Amino acid sequence: MRALTLVADRKLELRELPAPPPPGAGEVQIRVKAIALNHIDVWGWRGMAFAKRKLPLVVGAEATGEIAMVGAGATGIKIGDQVVMYGAITCGTCKACREGRDNLCENVSGVMGFHIDGFARDLLNMPVRLVIPVPTGIRARDAACAPIAFATVQHMLFDNAKLEPGETVLVHAGGSGIGTAAITMAKSIGATVITTVGDDAKTEKAKALGADHVINYRTERFEGLVRKITARKGVDVVFEHVGAETFNGSLLCLRRGGRLVTCGATSGPSTSLNLMQLFQQQYRIIGSFGASIRNIRESLAKMAAGMLPVIDTEVALADFERGLARLESRQVFGKIVVTF
Ligand SMILES: [Zn+2]
């Protein structure tokens, strides 16, 4: 079978590997159909000195597939079912796992496609408890965006920031995969959305997606405009993932008691904080990484109801690296999907 492996920093090889053995007890074998790209793939591809992992590594962190074989005792699923997979091997038994807070598992053995082998291969075996059925009628390219893009946004906006109808949210990098999902999800509950984009060509696209106000952060100071748009009150929620370039400006955009939720630092990981501002303004800053299996089910339900991800481009497995370069360049509007 084919497996796309990272053999050195910025060096991928499409290798032929033996197919996995038949699935063990409680496992299923999945034939991968599509992979969606995320910034974690770019970090992994560039190389991260502090990440504990061994090369070669099969890449691919977010995917959908079809059940090819069912192991003993793996119930509730049959050959041919379309599924998405949870992208980390959790233990399933610790307190966090038992309470459905899968992304806080105390014994997680790593993020697939980053720390341990991922989904960019024709076949793999997974525990059935980490496999989520896809409702009928959802195309593979859309379902592939459920486990990370949609579920991360679902977790950030609703579990963590507790965004409510009628509130105002600032969504950074509205053209990114999670930015487009955040605009769509926030609008769907009746929030007002202000978003930032890096070039004017994305402005119209963000408006077409439902954004009420779009700011080009390269030509305008977004902090000032957000205060103007909100009549100096500030926004209720900031959806952060840009990091160093925007973080302090984001805090200035918050109303007193506002919530900032962040899941990324694409422009750099370090910043300084004014602690007086933090406590006097009673900000809540919430770190968010990944999502729960429940969030993936919620995301698939949204897709089944017609809320689809924005797809920037579809590329073949052999063009995975071209997809990563496009993502790294930030010249995207929506998700890049790799089809098998
Ligand atoms: Zn656990």
Ligand 1 centre and the CA of 129: distance in Å? Answer: 12
pLDDT in tens, 4-62: 999 999 999 999 999 999 999 999 999 999 999 999 999 999 987 667 788 999 999 99
Ligand 1 centre and the CA of 102: distance in Å? Answer: 7
Ligand 1 centre and the CA of 109: distance in Å? Answer: 10
User: What pLDDT score was predicted for residue 49?
Assistant: 65
Ligand 1 centre and the CA of 252: distance in Å? Answer: 37
Ligand 1 centre and the CA of 315: distance in Å? Answer: 34
Ligand 1 centre and the CA of 111: distance in Å? Answer: 13
User: What pLDDT score was predicted for residue 193?
Assistant: 98
Ligand 1 centre and the CA of 127: distance in Å? Answer: 13
Ligand 1 centre and the CA of 292: distance in Å? Answer: 12
Ligand 1 centre and the CA of 184: distance in Å? Answer: 31
Among residues of the chain, what percentage have pLDDT more than 90? 95
Q: Where are the beta strands (DSSP E) in the chain?
A: 2-8, 11-16, 27-36, 57-58, 62-70, 82-85, 123-127, 131-133, 168-171, 192-197, 213-216, 235-240, 254-262, 284-287, 311-316, 335-339
pLDDT in tens, 102-152: 999 999 998 999 999 999 999 999 999 999 999 999 999 999 999 999 999
User: What pLDDT score was predicted for residue 250?
Assistant: 98
Ligand 1 centre and the CA of 291: distance in Å? Answer: 13
Mean pLDDT of 172-196: 98
Ligand 1 centre and the CA of 53: distance in Å? Answer: 20
Mean pLDDT over each residue of the chain, to the nearest integer: 96
